[in-house]
Every structure is written in C-alpha cells, then in structure tokens.
Structure 1
Amino acid sequence: MREEVDTQAAELASIKIVSRQSSVRSIKPQKMSILDNVVFCTILCLIGGVATASQGAVNSKLGEYTGQGLSSTIVFCMGAIASCIYFLIEVRGRPPTNLLIMMAKAPWWSWSGGVIGAIFVIITILVIPQLGAGTTTAIIVCAQLVFSCIVDNFTFFGIPYRKYTVWRLLATVGLIACVAVIAKF
C-alpha cells in the first residue's frame, strides 16, 4: 500500500500543472522545456525587441507604396498566416478536442489582442514618417514598460502581483529621460 502511494506521488510530481486560462490543456505530463531556460527566454526577448523595432519601419515603408490602411491589412494577413503555422506546429496538426469549450471560457477582454495589435501597427505606420523609427520606438517602449509595471502592481488581466517599488519608479523616470534625449538629439 505504501509503495503504491509513493508511486502515485512520484507520478504527480512529474506532471506540470498549466493554468486553464493560459492553455487548452489543463494538466499534461511534460519534461523540462527549453522555455524553462532563462538565457533562452532572454534571447527570445532580444529577438522580439529587434522585431518590434523593425516592424514599425517595415510597415511604414509598405504604407508608402500601398497606403496605410492596406499596409495594415497586409501586415495582419501575413501575421495570421504565420500564427496559423505556429498553431499547427504547437498542436502537431491536431487541435485539441476541447478547444471550443476552452475558447468559450476566455474572458471577454482576452479577445481584444488583435484590435490592440492593429492599433499598434496603424500608429507606427502613421507616426514613424513624422518622428522617425528611433523616437517612435523609444516612446512606445517607454509606454509599454510603464504600463506593464502598472499592470503588475494592480494585477490587471490576471497577471500576478509585483509591486511598483521605488526602484521601478526611478527606472520609470530614467526611461522618460532617455526618451527625451532620443527625441531631442
């Protein structure tokens, strides 16, 4: 009896519990993921930063040739294709059977990401020709960081609590100063 309990405890310990709000699978056995590696995640963030900085300039240039509205549409169509490919890779070509049920459980505001992304793309298409890629990106990144700290502090969108400390406040002031310098010079 004791051996059976120990075996069950060992099996449970090897199962990684994934939040139901963040995954279509509630519990799945999983080995160590590459995403558990902080260095790898940092490299992904650096790539994401370069991609974000590039995206505005690239989208703005496309807007010069196609018009701003069509440029935004093209960008999102290409993004939708890339996202569908990633989804099919993630689920190995077999979407989970409970996908529609899990989608129905998502909070109403979680569906607004595409609209928020469209706002971002349209703003960069409109503003980069006026302010330049550096100033536009600096303002956007500063706003992202400040609002992200506010999201952490007030746990908006179900994000775990992380206090807006004096150090974060000082960093915020530093960010704003950096944006001012980038915009001025």
Structure 2
Amino acid sequence: MQLVPYMLAALAVGIVVSFQPPMNGMLAKSVGSAYGAAAVSIGIAFASIVLLVLIAGHGEISRRTLGSVPWWVYLSGTIGAAFVAAGAAIAPVTGGLVFFICIVAGQLIGSMLVDHFGAFGLEVRAMSPMRFLGLAMVLGGAVLVSQS
C-alpha cells in the first residue's frame, strides 16, 4: 500500500480543518456563545455525515455491532465536541497558528503515548530519543511563534 496519497489527503484535511476554529469563532461572536456556536457547527456536521452515509453506505451499524464496542469508545464524540468548542473559544484569542501549534503539540504528546503503550489496538512503537527530539522541536516552534 502506498502511503503518499493518504498523506496528501491528510494534509488537505489538515488545511481545511485549520479554517474551522476561526469560522466557529465568528459564529460564536454572532450568537454570543462558543458553546452555542459549537452546537450549531456539530449539528451541521451531523446532518452532513448522515447525508454522506446515505450516499456512501453505513457498513453494519446494528445493535449487535454497536454493543460489541467498549463503552468508552463512544467518548470520541465528546472529544470532537470539545475540540470544536475549544476552537471557537480559544482560536479568536490566540490566533489560528498558535492554536493549532498547541493542538498539534498536544496531539503529538498523546500520539506518542498511544504508540508507546499500543493503546486502542495500535502496534507498539516505543518512545525514542528521535521521537522526543521531534516533539521538542514542535514545542520549541510553538514558543517561537507565540513570541512573534
């Protein structure tokens, strides 16, 4: 399997996702609440994904398959809601770049832990000096960008 198309798709999604917090910040300013803006945004996201499921198919969503998943897996929806609400509340204060550098740094820390422990069914990939160096560079970049 070639990774490059997937990497380019992830890059494109990352670019588009960077527009979401400032757009939600504008919505929050209009409605007077970051959480209200997040609710509207997630409602639209829900309608969009329902439409996509109707077009592309839904796999096997059934009581049996949904019951076979550990309860805590469903917290991923809460994580998504927290991200949207945080973007609406934080990005207007920090700006998009600092917001996302901090988000990415947090994701890297979390991802390093997930890889190290093989959490959520991933293959174990131990922490290493190079991984720590890469993480330190991102954190250093966050400090540099926030100073400008």
TM-score, length of structure 2 as denominator length: 0.91
Equivalent position amino acid for 2:13 in 1: G
Using the TM superposition, give the Cα deviation of residue 56 of structure 1 relative to its aligned residue in structure 2, in angstroms: 0.9
Using the TM superposition, give the Cα deviation of residue 95 of structure 1 relative to its aligned residue in structure 2, in angstroms: 5.5
Map of 1:4 onto structure 2: none
1:145-185 Cα offsets, whole Å, 9 max, x none, are 12111111012222221111111011011111011011111
Residue 51 of structure 2 is aligned with which of 58, 77, 85?
Answer: 85
Runs of 4+ in structure 1 off by over 4 angstroms are none
Instruction: Report matched runs for 1:20-35 at 5 Å.
Output: none
| Structure index of larger Rg | 1
Unaligned runs of 5+ in 2: none
Map of 2:83 onto structure 1: 120
| DSSP-derived class of the 2:18 partner | helix
Map of 1:75 onto structure 2: 41
Percent of residue pairs bearing the same amino acid type:
22
CA RMSD of aligned residues (A): 1.6
Map of 1:143 onto structure 2: 106
Q: Does structure 2 retain, via aligned residues, the 8 Å contact 1:88–1:95? A: no
Equivalent position amino acid for 1:64 in 2: K
Unaligned runs of 5+ in 1: 1-35
1 or 2, which has the higher helix percentage?
Answer: 2
1:13-64 Cα offsets, whole Å, 9 max, x none, are xxxxxxxxxxxxxxxxxxxxxxx44222011111121122111111111111
Q: Residue 126 and residue 101 in structure 1: after superposition, are their counterparts in 2 closer, same or farther (change >3 A)?
A: same
Determine the C-alpha separation between the residues in 2 that align with 1:65 and 1:95: 38
1:100-131 Cα offsets, whole Å, 9 max, x none, are 21110001111011111111111111111211
